[in-house]
């Protein structure tokens, strides 16, 4: 699917047919959005721009250090858009190509931020003077969405902390939930750092119009604050994980302590019972009420052992 946003007077119109490129001037096109494009749509776009567009496979194989490139005609940028899915994060790569003042985006799945942007462009065309303003709006909106994801992770972290303080469901499953949230925090941080690198490269590029430097610097500041917030959340999760492990160890030690104490209490009584279980002549073995005396002796031994442990605060 292709969507061509081009300026016509004071309005911005949209076309969804690649054949309309022949009717539109290059200076009029602001944004070409390719959503799972067909071969004809992609080839027509490349012919209109005069440069190749990176495929999804190429974008996914690019190393993080090489996700920004430029030549004499265009700027190529690749980044990932994160979306929460149950307890995990889905990664959706998006490729940006900037040729002059025209922006081209290539993606494989619908994204809510792109859909809302398309409606806004047609509702308020005066806000979007070129493909650069559309690109900056996309990045600004993406940073806001990443901030929302980080806020959700912070709320989940606070809920985990509350459950630990109230000692609710402190078990292995709870520890796995914390680990999954840590994985999500790492994904988010990597994604934000990727955008930070992208914006920094745009600022260094000689092809970026100077009038957009201020906006790019503001985006960098916002991204920096998100990175700090993500680092804090990750460190907090590590602290909670250590706390949960400590609580689990304490519970296990308490159980072992109880078993050990019971064994120690029964050892003297077991020793007395072992003596009178032998087939030899022992005191009181011919007396009718000897078993009562022996039970009393064993109970006394158990009580004395318990009293000694209690007095020394070993219980």
Same domain, 244 and 273: no
Q: How far does CA 133 lie from the centroid of its chain?
A: 29
pLDDT surpasses 80 at 224: yes
CB 142 within 8 A of CB 81: yes
261-299 confidence digits (pLDDT tens): 777 777 777 777 776 666 666 666 666 676 677 778 777
Same domain, 186 and 274: no
Domain count, the chain: 2
Q: Which of 214, 230, 249 is the last residue of a domain?
A: 249
170-197 confidence digits (pLDDT tens): 777 777 777 888 888 888 888 888 888 8
pLDDT of residue 281: 66
CA distance 111 to 92: 9
Q: Which of 214, 249, 284 is the last residue of a domain?
A: 249
Band (45; pLDDT cuts 50, 70, 90): confident
Question: CATH code at 46?
Answer: 3.30.460.20
Domain that holds residue 296: 257-311
Same domain, 296 and 185: no
Same domain, 195 and 262: no
pLDDT surpasses 60 at 203: yes
Same domain, 275 and 223: no
Same domain, 188 and 164: yes
Same domain, 157 and 262: no
Same domain, 188 and 298: no
Of the candidates 27, 8, 212, 1, the one whose C-alpha atom is nearest the C-alpha of residue 121 is 8
Give the whole-number percent of the chain exceeding pLDDT 70. Answer: 86
57-109 confidence digits (pLDDT tens): 555 555 544 578 777 888 888 888 877 776 677 778 888 888 888 888 888 88
The string of DSSP letters for 237-256 reads HHHHHHHHHHHHHHHHHHHH
Same domain, 98 and 203: yes
pLDDT of residue 314: 64
pLDDT surpasses 80 at 119: yes
123-168 confidence digits (pLDDT tens): 887 888 888 888 888 888 888 888 888 888 888 888 878 877 777 6
Please tell me the pTM assigned to this model: 0.73
Number of neighbours of residue 71 by Cβ within 10 angstroms: 10
Same domain, 284 and 242: no
Q: What is the mean pLDDT of residues 25-47?
A: 85
Same domain, 45 and 135: yes
Same domain, 224 and 276: no
CA distance 213 to 217: 6
Q: What is the mean pLDDT of residues 16-25?
A: 80
Q: Which of 210, 233, 249 is the last residue of a domain?
A: 249
Band (218; pLDDT cuts 50, 70, 90): very high
């Amino acid at each position: 699917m292709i969507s061509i946003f081009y300026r016509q007077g004071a309005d911005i119109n949209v076309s969804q047919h690649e054949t309309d490129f022949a009717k539109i001037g290059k200076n009029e096109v602001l944004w070409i959005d390719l959503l799972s494009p067909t071969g004809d749509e992609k080839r027509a776009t490349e012919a209109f721009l005069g440069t190749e567009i990176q495929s999804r496979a190429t974008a996914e194989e690019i190393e993080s250090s090489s996700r920004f490139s430029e030549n004499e005609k265009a700027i190529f940028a690749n980044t990932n858009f994160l979306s929460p899915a149950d307890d995990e994060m889905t990664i959706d790569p998006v490729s940006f190509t900037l040729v002059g003042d025209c922006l081209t985006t290539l993606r494989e799945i619908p994204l809510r931020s792109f859909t809302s942007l398309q409606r806004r462009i047609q509702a308020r065309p005066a806000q979007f003077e070129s493909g650069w303003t559309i690109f900056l709006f996309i990045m600004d909106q993406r940073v806001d969405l990443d901030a929302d994801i980080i806020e959700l992770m912070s709320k989940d972290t606070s809920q985990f902390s509350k459950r630990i303080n109230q000692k609710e469901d402190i078990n292995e499953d709870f520890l796995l939930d914390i680990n999954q949230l840590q994985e999500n925090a790492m994904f988010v941080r990597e994604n934000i750092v990727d955008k930070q690198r992208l914006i920094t490269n745009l600022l260094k590029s000689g092809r970026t119009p100077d009038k957009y430097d201020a906006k790019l610097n503001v985006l960098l500041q916002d991204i920096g604050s998100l990175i700090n917030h993500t680092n804090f959340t990750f460190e907090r999760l590590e602290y909670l994980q250590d706390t949960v492990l400590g609580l689990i160890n304490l519970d296990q030690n308490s159980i072992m302590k109880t078993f050990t104490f019971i064994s120690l209490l029964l050892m003297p009584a077991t020793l007395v019972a072992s003596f009178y279980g032998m087939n030899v002549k022992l005191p009181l073995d011919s007396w009718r009420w000897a078993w009562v005396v022996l039970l009393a002796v064993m109970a006394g031994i158990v009580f004395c052992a318990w009293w000694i442990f209690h007095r020394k605060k070993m219980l």
